[in-house]
Amino acid sequence: MRLDKYLTAACDMTRKQARAAIRAGDVTVDDARVTAPGWHVATDSRIALSGQALASPAGRYFMLHKPEGYICATRDGHRPTVLDLLDEPNRERLQIVGRLDRDTTGLLLLTDDGQWNHQVTSPRRDCGKVYLLETATPIDPGAIEVFERGIVLQPENCRTRPARLVILAPQRAQLTISEGRYHQVKRMMAAVGSEVIRLHRSAIGAIRLDDGLAPGRYRPLTATEIESVG
**Domain hosting residue 25, numbered range:** 3-53
Q: Is residue 176 part of a domain?
A: yes
Q: Is residue 228 part of a domain?
A: no
* Residue 84: per-residue pLDDT: 94
Vertex 114 angle, CA 109 and 120, to 5°: 50
* 161 and 193 part of one domain: yes
* Residue 230: per-residue pLDDT: 63
**Coil, strand or helix at 105:** strand
* Residue 70: per-residue pLDDT: 96
* 154 and 108 part of one domain: yes
CA distance between the termini of the chain: 20
* 47 and 139 part of one domain: no
Range 137-163 burial, b when 16+ CB lie within 10 A, else e: eebeeebbeebeeebebeeeeeebeeb
Catalytic residue set: 101
CATH classification of the domain holding 169: 3.30.2350.10
* Residue 107: per-residue pLDDT: 98
* 83 and 48 part of one domain: no
Burial of 230 (0-12, 13-18, 19+ CB in 10 A): exposed
* 72 and 129 part of one domain: yes
* 77 and 119 part of one domain: yes
* 28 and 127 part of one domain: no
CA 80 – CA 223 distance, rounded (Å): 30
φ, ψ at 83 (rounded to 5°): -65, -25
* 105 and 29 part of one domain: no
Q: Which residues lie below 8 Å from residue 26, measured CB to CB, with a gap of 6+? A: 49, 50
Q: What is the pLDDT of residues 72-120, one digit of tens each?
A: 988 777 899 999 999 987 788 899 998 999 999 999 999 988 888 988 9
CA 210 – CA 192 distance, rounded (Å): 31
* Residue 88: per-residue pLDDT: 86
CA dihedral sign of residues 53, 226, 178, 102: negative
* Residue 121: per-residue pLDDT: 86
CA 19 – CA 3 distance, rounded (Å): 9
* 142 and 196 part of one domain: yes
* pLDDT beneath 50, residues of the chain: none
pTM, full prediction: 0.79
CA 225 – CA 57 distance, rounded (Å): 19
Q: Is residue 30 part of a domain?
A: yes
* Residue 9: per-residue pLDDT: 75
To the nearest whole percent, how much of the chain has pLDDT over 70? Answer: 98
